[in-house]
């Protein structure tokens, strides 16, 4: 029984209303109104979903500086806070050139050249987030990563600045598909 598998169903149902979808690069996704997330190991298929994205949480692949690691641990907040009524679902695919690099080369671009975690800590250290890996499921998934972030309406500007800073890094030159989906929680 694994609860590391998360399924994101875009369609007509679910507690998250899709407020805006921006295709940053690559092929768009079909338009959907709402998002339903399930983490059951065998979640029933959603016949009315217009897209289904799946990813699995995993161990960390890249080392970050010890000092950054302890700041992430002490600052990062939990998902599901009552004030986190906004979310961003950003599926990302990196190109063949990225995957042709060695682990050490990717690590160097991620940490030394791009300061990925450092930029996150500079802009929004408390940001609740979860990273899902898709390549661990199969080679044929449409994305490599599904990223999920939650924040309050007042924190949206900080989130946007963080994203802009990350998209300007060497790491993002390898991103060939990215969809920025913004959501608002509307619980029943």
With binding defined as CB under 6 A, does residue 131 bind ligand HEM?
yes
**Contacting residue, 43, 108, 147, 169, with ligand HEM by CB under 6 A:** 147
The least distance separating ligand HEM from the CB of residue 188, rounded to whole angstroms, comes to: 29
The least distance separating ligand HEM from the CB of residue 47, rounded to whole angstroms, comes to: 29
**Structure-block tokens of residue 162:** 């963080």
The least distance separating ligand HEM from the CB of residue 113, rounded to whole angstroms, comes to: 13
Nearer to ligand HEM, 43 or 95 (CB): 95
Q: 33 — alpha (psi -120 to 50), left (phi > 0) or beta?
A: alpha
Binding mask 164-183 for ligand HEM (x = CB under 6 A): --x-----------------
Total residues at interface with ligand HEM (CB under 6 A):
22
70 Cβ contact list (under 8 Å, min separation 6):
none
Cα 177 to Cα 167: distance, rounded to the nearest angstrom: 12
The least distance separating ligand HEM from the CB of residue 9, rounded to whole angstroms, comes to: 20
Residues 5-64 interacting with ligand HEM (rule: CB under 6 A): 60-62, 64
Cα 107 to Cα 92: distance, rounded to the nearest angstrom: 18
With binding defined as CB under 6 A, does residue 87 bind ligand HEM?
no
- Stretch in the footprint of ligand HEM (CB under 6 A) among 8-16, 28-36, 48-56, 144-152: 144-152
**Contacting residue, 89, 163, 181, 183, with ligand HEM by CB under 6 A:** 163
Contacts to ligand HEM by CB under 6 A:
60-62, 64, 72, 90, 92, 116-117, 120-121, 124-125, 127, 129, 131, 145, 147, 149, 162-163, 166
């Amino acid at each position: 029984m694994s609860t590391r598998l998360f399924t994101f169903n875009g369609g007509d149902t679910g507690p998250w209303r899709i407020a805006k979808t921006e295709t940053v690069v690559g092929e768009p996704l079909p338009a959907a109104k709402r998002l339903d997330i399930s983490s059951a190991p065998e979640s029933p298929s959603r016949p009315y979903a217009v897209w289904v994205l799946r990813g699995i949480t995993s161990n960390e692949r890249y080392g970050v500086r010890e000092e950054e690691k302890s700041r992430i641990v002490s600052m990062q907040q939990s998902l599901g806070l009552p004030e986190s009524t906004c979310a961003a679902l950003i599926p990302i695919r990196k190109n063949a050139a990225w995957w042709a690099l060695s682990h050490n080369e990717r690590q160097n671009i991620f940490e030394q050249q791009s300061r990925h975690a450092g930029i996150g800590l500079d802009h929004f250290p408390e940001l609740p987030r979860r990273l899902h890996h898709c390549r661990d499921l199969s080679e044929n998934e449409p994305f490599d990563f599904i990223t999920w972030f939650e924040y309050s309406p007042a924190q949206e500007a900080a989130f946007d600045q963080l994203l802009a800073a990350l998209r300007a890094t060497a790491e993002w030159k390898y991103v060939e598909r990215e969809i920025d989906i913004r959501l608002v929680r509307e619980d029943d």
